[in-house]
Amino acid sequence: MLQREPEVRVLSANSDSRAYNITDAASCAMVDRPSKASALRDFLDTIVCGDCRKVLPGLPAQCVDLIVTSPPYADRRDKTYGGIKPDEYVEWFIPIAEELRRVLKPTGSFVLNIKEPAVNGERHTFVLELVMRLRQQGWLWIEEYCWHKRNCYPGKWPNRFRDAWERCLHFAVSRQFAMYQEAVMVPMGDWRHKRLQKLSETDRRRDNSRVGSGFGKNISNWVGRDLAYPTNVLHLATECSNRGHSAAFPVELPKWFIKLFTRPNEVVLDPFIGSGTAAVACREINRRFIGIEVNPEYCALARERLRQAEQPTFWERETKYGRNSARKTGSAH
């Protein structure tokens, strides 16, 4: 499917948060938008440069299939986003969450990547408080995924060890949300060949836990399988070359959730898209995207990353034009 060139638009908010103007970043030609919610096509495959608190009201209701985002962390990235105080974070985010709930389809999901900092020697509780407020707002807290950062930043503190994980909180507005678990299955590993070669009598039936937990397993169910369902812990390295952004996460993180909760051509929203990582992930697996970013430099960076994502790598060109695909020489930087 041929997708149109990604756009970057600059939002200029009027006094009415539902009435705004959007200018094309290249031509700076002003385009007036009506006070009512704009058509979804105005936003598809677009990075809107503006404050999501002003942009989101312009989106139609129930128009996106997945929201995946990593908002500014409390008291972090002061030079980038101004920094939101931990004690003020919940009140800052709740109005945004209300708009996110409005634009999400009943079968959609909302994945929030967030981590609370330590303040005065102890972990702040604003993330836990935010979860409770979101539930009061009508969100269902479905699951907590753990992103294990395999190459976490080194350091030493007198009362804790270095941070090697972050939360990815999964919310929905209905218990009947879309989920495609087969899309993220993982290889079982070579252990299965020897282990499943000769099954005991116990292996052929459900063997309940000896500690009375109620859990059990039937080893014979693994016979003939090459793939298994993953756990709720994602082992992914952080983005080492931060691509000009102070808090870029790896493409594989949003991509995993996009594959899990959407199908091709469905719409993914990131209201804090930064350097465009979620949009790049969407392009790679044939999803439509809507990105919102308040920093104009990051908007331009996101568009450039999307443009580069459209260019075939050296290896792809070798395969496309029929050269020796078994020989991989050179590199595509």
Instruction: Answer yes or no: is 205 within a domain.
Output: yes
Distance of CA 296 to the CA centre of its chain: 21
Instruction: Answer yes or no: is 1 within a domain.
Output: no
Instruction: Answer yes or no: is 165 within a domain.
Output: yes
Range of the domain at 22: 7-185+229-320
Q: Same domain for 148 and 265?
A: yes
3-state SS class at 43: coil
Q: pLDDT tens-digit profile of 70-84? A: 999 787 555 555 578
Q: Same domain for 13 and 114?
A: yes
How many structural domains is the chain composed of?
Answer: 2
Please give the residue that has the higher pLDDT: either 331 or 82. 82
Q: pLDDT tens-digit profile of 43-53? A: 999 999 999 99
pTM for the whole structure: 0.79
Q: pLDDT tens-digit profile of 100-116? A: 999 999 999 999 999 98
Instruction: Answer yes or no: is 333 within a domain.
Output: no
Q: pLDDT tens-digit profile of 179-237? A: 999 999 999 877 776 777 788 887 777 767 677 776 777 777 777 788 989 999 999 88
What's the mean pLDDT when you consider all of the chain? 80
Q: Same domain for 194 and 284?
A: no
The pLDDT of residue 96: 98
Q: Same domain for 241 and 94?
A: yes
Q: Same domain for 44 and 80?
A: yes
Query: For residue 2, is pLDDT > 80?
Result: no
The pLDDT of residue 33: 41
Q: Which of 174, 199, 226 is the last residue of a domain?
A: 226
Instruction: Answer yes or no: is 326 within a domain.
Output: no
Q: Same domain for 50 and 123?
A: yes
Please give the residue that has the higher pLDDT: either 55 or 12. 55
Comparing CA positions, the residue from 141, 178, 147 lying closest to residue 260 is 178
The pLDDT of residue 315: 42
Residue 38: which CATH number? 3.40.50.150
DSSP string covering 120-176 = TTEE--HHHHHHHHHHHHT-EEEEEEEEEETTPPP---SSSPPP-EEEEEEEESSSS
Q: pLDDT tens-digit profile of 118-160? A: 888 899 999 999 999 999 999 999 999 999 998 877 777 888 8
Q: Same domain for 159 and 210?
A: no
Query: Among 17-21, 175-179, 245-249, where is mean pLDDT lowest?
Result: 17-21
Q: Same domain for 58 and 167?
A: yes
The pLDDT of residue 188: 83
Instruction: Answer yes or no: is 325 within a domain.
Output: no
198 vs 7: CA distance, rounded Å: 58
Specify the DSSP class assigned to residue 33.
Answer: -
Q: How far is CA 18 from CA 24, 92, 116, in A?
A: 19, 19, 32
Q: Same domain for 196 and 89?
A: no
Instruction: Answer yes or no: is 176 within a domain.
Output: yes
Q: Same domain for 92 and 104?
A: yes
Given a contact cutoff of 8 angstroms between Cβ atoms, the answer to whether 290 and 64 are in contact is yes
Q: pLDDT tens-digit profile of 239-295? A: 544 455 445 679 999 999 999 999 999 999 999 999 999 999 999 999 999 999 999
Q: Same domain for 76 and 205?
A: no
Please give the residue that has the higher pLDDT: either 206 or 172. 172
For residue 317, name the pLDDT band (cuts at 50, 70, 90): very low
Instruction: Answer yes or no: is 132 within a domain.
Output: yes
Q: Same domain for 118 and 201?
A: no
